[in-house]
Every structure is written in C-alpha cells, then in structure tokens.
Amino acid sequence: MQIKNSEELFVRLLSLADSAEQQMTKALPKLARAADDPSVVEMFEHHLEETEGQLDRLEKVAGVLDVRIKRIKDQTMASLISSSEASGRRSNAG
C-alpha cells in the first residue's frame, strides 16, 4: 500500500498501534497462565489492564478525529508474540 499523504500515514500508524494492542490482549492471558512466578503473573495481568486502556484511547482518538481504524496486522508484534510462545514451549519441554 502506497501512502499518499499525512492523513493516510496517520491512519496507517493508528491502525498498526490498534493491531499491536489487540494482539497483546490475546497473548497476555496466555503468558500469565504459562508463568510459574506469581509476581510475573501479576505483571502480565497489570499489563493487560494497561493494554485494554490503550485500546480504549485509540478508539476514542479515532472517533474524535472521525477516522476508521483499518484491520491490518502488525507483523512486528505478531513476530514478537510468536517468538515468546516458541520460547515458552522450549522452556516447558526441557
């Protein structure tokens, strides 16, 4: 996708931020369940609350500016989550 102006760039970046936060809301509960240390579980749960707040703020920004967040996937976040899941599987296996 070629970006033609600053508004398209803004919507693209807003959409990527939304995608990253959406992915985190799905990944954090899994990470919390996989954690052995109660303080780590608490950290993941706290981060989930913050992430949900970020999603609310992103939606408010989009509403105030009357822009539509596009449903695109933030590949960087997807890669980070995939890497953390693979690391967790390796840790549990051996």
Q: Over the stretch 7-58, which tens digit does the pLDDT of each residue have?
A: 999 999 999 999 999 999 999 999 999 999 999 999 999 999 999 999 999 9
Q: What's the one-letter identity of residue 48?
A: L
Give the pair of three-digit tokens for residue 78.
Answer: 């997807």
CATH superfamily ID and name for 6-87: Ferritin, core subunit, four-helix bundle (1.20.1260.10)
Q: What is the pLDDT of residue 91?
A: 61
Q: Which residues of 40-76 are buried (b: 16+ CB within 10 A; e: fewer)?
A: eeeebeeebeebeebbeebeeebeeeeeebeeeebee
pTM for the complete prediction? 0.84
- Fill in the DSSP letter of residue 70: P
- Fill in the DSSP letter of residue 73: -
